[in-house]
Amino acid sequence: MGSIKMSYSATELMIINASRLLRDGDVVFVGVGTPNLACNLARRTHAPGLLMIYEAGVIGARPARLPLSIGDPTLVSGASAVCSMYDIFTFYLQRGNVDVGFLGGAQIDRFGNINATVIGDYDHPRVRLPGSGGSMEIAGWANRCYIMTPHQKRRFPEKVDFATSAGFLAGRWQRETTGARGGGPLAVVTDLGLLEPDANGELVLTTLHPGMTVEQARANTGWELKISSDLHYTQPPSAEELRILREELDPQGIYLK
């Protein structure tokens, strides 16, 4: 076991706080990259009964190495089941068997809507992004969703250019009228803190990471960010969380910068 410095990066802080949102026994639809690290960290700490599902059609994955793509062969070897993608999106997700979805995106707006499609106009995009992938249905149908993204003003506009995946649309009431089965985003985890939806579905700052300030959060958000009257601070990463993350999960530092 190497010596762990108790300093940590913004990315590590984001991953560790995302992992703490998972509950033991959750069925989680895992994305590659930082969500994958958060889920595997949770399974090795407080949530040993976490069931990890990947959109490629893998259930109960126990990746022996860091998967660099969403369909890495390490997800399959030692998994509890493999099925087609149509099955994973129907038997598992549409049917309501997925507790948690982890999502990211180029833009997240005031009501937690996600844009992963285009910056600018759809027919004449300024920047063409990869698009939905599994995100549209995960955001619609997972019981709970968490979004992970660095806290930057350009990533947090008042309104997304294109709503690839639904948060609360223009307010919680509006999502409810669509009849989509999932509860929508429960939190956006950034490198500054956590934003959580209020009664109306608007994202407000509820938590700061140690050392971060309300002014930083305001300056890096594209709308007039409300601050919770009950603002609190996350616990700093523990030596054990940092050790697992750095030594077991991403020893080459591919996602941890």
Partner 1 sequence: MPKICSLKEAIQQFVHDGDSLYAAGFTHLIPFAAGHEIIRQGRRNLTLARATPDLIYDQMVAAGCASKLIFSYIGNPGVGSLRIVREEIEAGRMEIEEYSHFGMLSRLQAGATGLPFIPMNQTAASDLEHANPQYKRVTDPYSGKEVVVLPPLNPDIAIVHVQRADANGNAHIWGIIGEQKEAAFAARHVILTAEEIVDEAIIRSDPNRTLIPDLVVDAVCHVPFAAHPSYTQGYYDRDNAFYLAWDKITETRQATQAYLEEWVFGVKNRNEYWQKLGEETRTRLAVAPRWAAGVNYGEY
* 247 given a catalytic annotation: no
Which token pair is 252? Answer: 């080459």
Backbone φ, ψ for residue 150 (5° rounding): -60, 145
> How far apart (Å, rounded) are the C-alpha atoms in residues 156 and 221?
5
Which residues make beta-bridge pairs with 148?
A: 189
Give least dist CB 246 to partner 1, A: 20
Which position has the token pair 């009431």?
Answer: 173
User: Measured from the CB atom, is 94 or 143 closer to partner 1?
Assistant: 94
Strand, coil or helix: what is 179?
coil
Catalytic residue among 55, 137, 202, 241: 55
| Contact criterion met (CB below 8 Å) for 94 and 136 | no
Give least dist CB 247 to partner 1, A: 21
User: Measured from the CB atom, is 61 or 244 closer to partner 1?
Assistant: 61
CA atoms within 13 A on the CB side of 181: 13
User: Measured from the CB atom, is 69 or 235 closer to partner 1?
Assistant: 69
Instruction: List residues binding partner 1 (CB under 8 A).
Output: 32-33, 55-58, 68-73, 75-77, 82-86, 89, 93-94, 113, 117, 122, 124-128, 130-137, 139-141, 162-166, 169, 175, 178-181, 184
Give least dist CB 232 to partner 1, A: 30
Catalytic center residues: 55
